[in-house]
């Protein structure tokens, strides 16, 4: 194998970390879970985290801030950015502080020393056995190593996901042609108070329909018979569904998820989601490879924890599930979802596409919970893509070269490059919502560097910059983001 693969299992009071490394094969270390020292603090911080967007919204509207003339840097006075740092540190100390965390940080150091941005990559999957189900609902996507300081969810050469215990590994299927087919199901009430939410979803669908290689088939309201008909239509056309995208309201009731569903009499109410799972996975020949659980929100009853439904889809043999554990603001949520689909349609692997999108959320709005909102369940043996590339980077991990009869992979032209390397990087840095010192310094550096026409040589310059700035976490993260953007815009040649 060409990277590190960590499977970290929590059970009772013990942490078992089984990992594969490029130089020493399979290894195992153990640690302890420290509930008494950290669990209560984490739960209190998460309650604060759940209210983050609502407080931000109120303050931005001037309902709370007592001095509306304050500059924007002080307008969000009640939103304490150290919330994420403290929460993330406690999550690390709860389960990873010890041999498992030491092996993980050593793998990251080895990766940072590499001059090649493609390796050795690190894959981390968290597994929660029966003795640690009380920990499964915690927001592990905010876990943070205190020293050296980094969030696992924002490292672009690392993929953070979860794995369902007791369920075997499965494989991610590649589409037989160059199309990513999406059954887009909107499970929201049709009443007037959801008009804005439905309009937001329609705008998202329109943006996705413009993405090359995406085919969107919408279902505008929850109707099990109609969903089954659509799935059978895919089967009859000899296609499977690559993605089922489900937009819904979800909440935690006694540790179990419930969805807001039509009641059959013109109304709606909170109900068991299992019939929805059964319907969406009922046609084996058209069963999706990826399920996206898109959490909507409303004022009457806060929506949360859509990720709690993900294991039910994994149990139904879905190899990958991406879920939102908190709602995102409409604009950010739409940008996040579009970014994921653009990368999947360009042949990116599922885990890497999600990780890079998290990184963009973190860098774009650093005083927000959005980077830790996406939860990825990966039940597959290796991270995989929905459409083939000409040559897989990790052929030794089972990703095959596309047959000669397959359509050619997306070229730089079909990726819609935005101009030369300097223009692409300046646009990327200019889109970062917070003008941090790292953003300002890198912007000056990008303007001054004589960039070569060859994207491969441009990546080499960025790798050198990343290595030179290895002590600056913000600059290093931005360099990794730039490397990913060049690969996305110009391809991997060179």
Asked if residue 200 and residue 99 are part of one domain, the reply reads: no
DSSP secondary structure letter of residue 349: B
Counting the structural domains of the chain, the total is 3
In a domain, 449, yes or no: yes
- Rounded to an integer, what distance in angstroms lies between the CA atom of residue 242 and that of residue 244? 7
Give the pLDDT of residue 413: 39
Band of pLDDT at residue 395, cut at 50, 70 and 90: very low
> What are the angstrom distances between the C-alpha of 254 and each of 40, 258, 308, 343, 412?
18, 10, 12, 37, 49
Residues in the chain: 494
Buried b or exposed e, range 171-183, using 16+ CB within 10 angstroms: ebbbbeebbbbbb
Report the range of poorest mean pLDDT among 82-86, 92-96, 198-202, 418-422: 418-422
The residue among 3 and 337 whose pLDDT is bigger is 337
**Helix locations, 210-349, DSSP H:** 224-236, 274-280, 310-315, 330-345
| 413 located within any domain | no
Same domain for 425 and 351? no
60 part of a folded domain: no
Please report whether residue 187 resides in a domain.
yes
Q: How far apart are CA 201 and CA 79, in angstroms?
A: 28
Mean pLDDT of 414-441: 74
* pLDDT band with cut points at 50, 70 and 90 for residue 302: low
The reported pLDDT for the residue numbered 433 is: 66
347 and 252 in a common domain: yes
187-228 residue pLDDT tens: 988 888 888 888 999 999 999 999 988 999 999 999 999 999
229: containing domain = 180-397
On whether both 315 and 246 belong to a single domain, the answer is yes
DSSP state of 241: -
- List Cα–Cα distances, 31 to 9, 36, 160, 358, in angstroms: 10, 15, 19, 28
Most confident of the ranges 105-119, 256-270, 306-320, 463-477: 306-320
Which residue's structure tokens are 């049709």?
190
Percent of the chain with pLDDT over 70: 83
Does residue 64 fall inside a structural domain? no
Q: What is the rounded average pLDDT of the residues 83-104?
A: 94
- Whether 370 and 332 have beta carbons less than 8 Å apart is answered as yes
Both 271 and 212 in a single domain? yes
Distance CA(190)–CA(194), nearest Å, equals 7
Question: pLDDT tens, 223-260?
Answer: 999 999 999 998 888 888 899 999 999 988 887 899 99
In a domain, 150, yes or no: yes
Average pLDDT, the chain: 82
Spatial separation of the C-alpha atoms in residues 53 and 49, rounded to whole Å: 8
Largest CA distance in the chain: 67
pLDDT the model gives residue 405: 32
Q: Would you say residue 139 lies in a domain?
A: yes
Question: Is pLDDT at 376 greater than 90 in this prediction?
Answer: yes
> Where are the extended beta strands (E) located within 22-104?
25-32
CATH of the domain at 297: 3.40.50
pLDDT tens track for 318-346: 999 999 998 888 888 888 999 999 999 98
Q: Tell me the whole-structure pTM to 2 decimals.
A: 0.77
CA distance 121 to 323: 23
The answer as to whether 406 is a domain residue is no
* pLDDT recorded at residue 115: 56
Instruction: Tell me which of 20-34, 51-65, 256-270, 334-348 is least confident.
Output: 51-65
Q: At what angle do helices 35-50 and 52-60 cross, to 10 degrees?
A: 40
């Amino acid at each position: 194998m060409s990277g590190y693969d960590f499977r970290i299992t929590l059970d009772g009071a013990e942490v078992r970390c089984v990992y594969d490394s490029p130089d020493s094969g399979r290894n195992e270390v153990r640690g302890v879970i420290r509930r008494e020292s950290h669990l209560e603090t984490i739960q209190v911080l998460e309650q604060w985290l759940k209210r983050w967007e609502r407080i931000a919204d109120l303050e931005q509207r001037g309902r709370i801030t007592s001095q509306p003339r304050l500059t924007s840097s002080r307008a969000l006075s009640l939103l304490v950015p150290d919330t994420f740092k403290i929460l993330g540190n406690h999550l690390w100390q709860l389960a990873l502080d010890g041999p498992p965390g030491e092996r993980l940080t050593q793998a990251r150091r080895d990766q940072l020393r590499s001059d090649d941005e493609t390796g050795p990559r690190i894959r981390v999957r968290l597994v929660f056995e029966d003795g640690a189900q009380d920990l499964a609902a915690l927001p592990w996507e905010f876990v943070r190593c205190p020293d050296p300081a980094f969030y696992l969810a924002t490292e672009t050469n690392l993929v953070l996901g979860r794995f369902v215990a007791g369920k075997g590994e499965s494989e991610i299927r590649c589409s037989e042609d160059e199309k990513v087919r999406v059954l887009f199901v909107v499970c929201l009430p049709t009443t007037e108070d959801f008009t804005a939410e439905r309009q937001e979803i329609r705008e998202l669908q329109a943006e996705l329909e413009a993405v090359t290689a995406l085919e969107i088939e919408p279902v505008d309201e929850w109707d099990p018979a109609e969903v089954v008909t659509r799935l059978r239509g895919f089967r009859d056309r000899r296609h499977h569904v690559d993605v089922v995208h489900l937009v819904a309201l979800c909440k935690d009731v006694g540790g179990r998820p419930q969805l807001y569903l039509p009641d059959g009499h013109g109304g709606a109410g909170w109900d068991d989601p299992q019939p929805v799972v059964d319907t969406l996975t009922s046609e084996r020949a058209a069963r999706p490879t990826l399920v996206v659980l898109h959490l909507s929100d409303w004022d009457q009853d806060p929506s949360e924890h859509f990720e709690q439904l993900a294991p039910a889809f994994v149990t139904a043999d879905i190899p990958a599930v991406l879920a939102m554990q908190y709602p995102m603001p409409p604009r950010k949520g739409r940008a996040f979802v579009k970014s994921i689909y653009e990368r999947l349609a360009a042949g990116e692997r599922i885990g890497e596409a999600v990780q890079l999108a998290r990184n963009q959320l973190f860098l774009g709005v650093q005083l927000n919970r959005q980077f830790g909102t996406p939860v990825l369940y990966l039940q597959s043996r290796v991270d995989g893509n929905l459409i083939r590339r000409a040559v897989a980077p990790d052929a030794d991990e089972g990703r095959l070269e596309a047959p000669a009869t397959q359509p050619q992979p997306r070229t730089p032209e079909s990726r819609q490059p935005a101009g030369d390397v300097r223009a692409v990087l300046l646009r990327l840095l200019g889109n970062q919502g917070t003008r941090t010192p790292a953003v300002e310094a890198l912007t000056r550096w990008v303007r001054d560097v004589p960039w070569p026409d060859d994207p491969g040589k441009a990546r080499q310059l960025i790798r050198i910059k990343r290595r030179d700035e290895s002590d600056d976490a913000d600059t290093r993260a931005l360099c990794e983001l730039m490397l990913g953007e060049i690969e996305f815009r110009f391809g991997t040649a060179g």
